[in-house]
């Protein structure tokens, strides 16, 4: 029987500093705010996976989780949870045998609500992180919640001209009249949205991983 590790990972965009949820074990992720591709090198992944003494904490927590603080400053959130893979739509747990039987198809429909998840065999990177890794289960790109909003362009309180802001500073000078303004909360929140992690699952065999030591 296999065991499953859930990982929630969020990195900061190197271009605009927005949070970028990482959807699976992969070499890159796209920032939804500025569209830039963020490289996720092997060194980042090995830093996210805790050393054996930290991973052992998960065994004592059972189904609980732990937020791990890696040294990489780009990583803003890395949470480990031990539990069976589940459908992000309805919460139904997914059977290990069904997951392995669908690896060739690349998709697995939830038996309860029909939502499809991406499934694939563990690749070289997965096995480098966890030697006993069998498969990865994650959300399909088209099923991920949309985070794009209609842009809010504030007006200068002095002359009424539109203010141009890039999210790096809350204080913005009007290009028309030169007056300084402070961006309102709703506009600032668009530049700095709340991190929305997209949990994915690493299915492993029992007994050989560092997580079991």
**For the chain (length 213 residues), average pLDDT per consecutive 10?**
83 87 93 86 87 62 68 86 88 93 94 94 90 91 49 82 83 92 81 76 70 42
pLDDT at 210: 45
| d(C-alpha 206, C-alpha 213), whole Å | 11
Q: Of 200, 140, 141, nearest to 4 (Cα)?
A: 200
pLDDT at 213: 40
| d(C-alpha 94, C-alpha 201), whole Å | 11
b/e per residue, 40-75, with b = 16+ CB within 10 A? beeebbebbbbeeeebeebeeeeeebbebebebebb
Beta bridge partners of 182: 171
Which residues, 6+ apart, have CB-to-CB distance to 181 below 8 Å? 154, 156, 157, 158, 163, 171, 172, 173, 174
3-state secondary structure 31-73: CCCCCCEEECCHHHHHHHCCCHHHHHHHHHHCCCEEECCCCCC
pLDDT at 37: 93
pLDDT at 209: 45
pLDDT at 149: 47
């Amino acid at each position: 029987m296999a065991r499953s590790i859930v990982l929630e990972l969020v990195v900061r965009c190197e271009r605009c500093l927005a949070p970028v949820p990482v959807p699976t074990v992969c070499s890159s992720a796209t920032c939804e705010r500025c569209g830039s591709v963020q490289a996720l090198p092997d060194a980042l992944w090995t830093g996210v996976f805790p050393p054996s003494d930290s991973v052992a904490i998960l065994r004592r927590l059972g189904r609980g989780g732990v937020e791990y603080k890696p040294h990489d400053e780009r990583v803003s959130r890395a949470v480990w949870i031990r539990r069976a893979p589940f459908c992000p739509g309805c919460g139904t747990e997914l059977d290990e045998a069904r997951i392995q039987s669908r690896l060739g198809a690349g998709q697995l429909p939830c038996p309860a609500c029909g939502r499809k998840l991406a499934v694939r065999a563990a690749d070289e990177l997965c096995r480098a992180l966890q030697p006993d890794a069998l498969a990865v289960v994650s959300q399909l790109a088209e099923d991920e919640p949309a985070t794009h909003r209609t842009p809010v362009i504030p007006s200068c309180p002095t002359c009424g001209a539109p203010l141009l802001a890039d999210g790096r500073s809350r204080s913005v000078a009007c290009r028309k009249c030169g007056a300084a303004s402070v961006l309102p909360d709703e506009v600032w929140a668009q530049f700095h949205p709340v991190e929305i992690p997209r949990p994915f699952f690493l299915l492993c065999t029992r007994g050989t991983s560092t997580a079991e030591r």
